[in-house]
Amino acid sequence: MAALEINGLRKAFGGVIALGGVDLSIPDDRITGVVGPNGSGKTTLFNVITGVYPPTGGSITWHGEDISGRAPHQIARKGLVRTFQQAMSFPGLPVKENVQIALERGGRQLRGGEPRWHSPEELLDFVGLGGRGNDDAGSMPFGNLRRLGVAVALAANPVLLLLDEPAAGLSDGEASMLADLIIKLPGMGIGVCLIDHHMTFMTALCQRLIVLDFGTKIADGTTQSVLTDPKVMEVYLGGEL
């Protein structure tokens, strides 16, 4: 049984069904990718897992414990930490303080263990923002802001890190630098689950891909098998790959 088990998860907004009974199991020791066209329910999936919205039906189990309907901060404290596409940082505060806030919060989750990063500077060095600690987060260029978003989430001490389109808006160079960062995480004991459209980015990172379309899972398997799945080519890639 994987760390995160999702069974028959449904979410409806009024009459619109965003998730129509999704079953997923996501481990916390490797990188798993979730792909799908716009409006396929990817971000809703993250929002329901992390407690932003309560599910309409189904269950979410994290390390054997049912967490569906819990408040976002409670879920985060259990080690399920996410990033956002837009709301990446605390814009009015210095970069260092952004990370420090999350480190202080994440430090409280350590149960006798040694923290991965002892200071904001150490973590900023790790994500490639060394020396930027005193900059105003809100005035940073977009690429750095994405890195800061990842740094803040890492500081909160995740067991499984949920990345919502981390490469959106990045240049190819910036995206591959970010990929170099993400690929190190499983080795440090941090599982990753990421959503993105950027196929080269995803195939470089993920051993396994899950494909969503109209709120249901249409494929789940190794990256190679999914990419050659005719159903996936049909709905997601418009029949050509």
Give the range of 11-19, 119-127, 130-138, 186-194 binding other proteins by CB under 8 A: 130-138
The least distance separating other proteins from the CB of residue 76, rounded to whole angstroms, comes to 4
Distance CA 236, CA 212 (A): 9
The yes or no reply on residue 81 touching other proteins (CB under 8 A) is yes
Q: Which runs of E-coded beta strand occur in the chain?
A: 4-13, 16-26, 31-35, 57-62, 65-66, 80-82, 160-164, 191-195, 208-213, 216-222
State the residue for tokens 């890492």: 154
DSSP string, 46-115: HHHHTTSS--SEEEEEETTEE-TT--HHHHHHTTEEE--SS--S-TTSBHHHHHHHHHHHHHTT-SSPPP
Distance CA 82, CA 98 (A): 15
Give the range of 72-80, 205-213, 214-222, 227-235 binding other proteins by CB under 8 A: 72-80
Q: Which amino acid is at 162?
A: L
The yes or no reply on residue 77 touching other proteins (CB under 8 A) is yes
Give the range of 97-105, 168-176, 177-185, 219-227 binding other proteins by CB under 8 A: 97-105
Distance CA 106, CA 153 (A): 9
Give the range of 30-38, 150-158, 165-173, 192-200 binding other proteins by CB under 8 A: 150-158
The yes or no reply on residue 131 touching other proteins (CB under 8 A) is no
Distance CA 172, CA 20 (A): 34
Give the range of 32-40, 149-157, 212-220, 225-233 binding other proteins by CB under 8 A: 149-157
Among 88, 124, 178, 226, binds other proteins (CB under 8 A): 88
The yes or no reply on residue 219 touching other proteins (CB under 8 A) is no
**Cα distance from N-terminal residue to C-terminal residue, the chain:** 33
The least distance separating other proteins from the CB of residue 228, rounded to whole angstroms, comes to 36
The yes or no reply on residue 138 touching other proteins (CB under 8 A) is yes
Among 25, 109, 203, 216, binds other proteins (CB under 8 A): 109
Tokens of 42: 């990817």
The site for other proteins (CB under 8 A) is made up of 50, 52, 71-73, 76-77, 81-84, 87-94, 96-97, 100-102, 104-106, 108-109, 134-136, 138-139, 152-153, 155-156
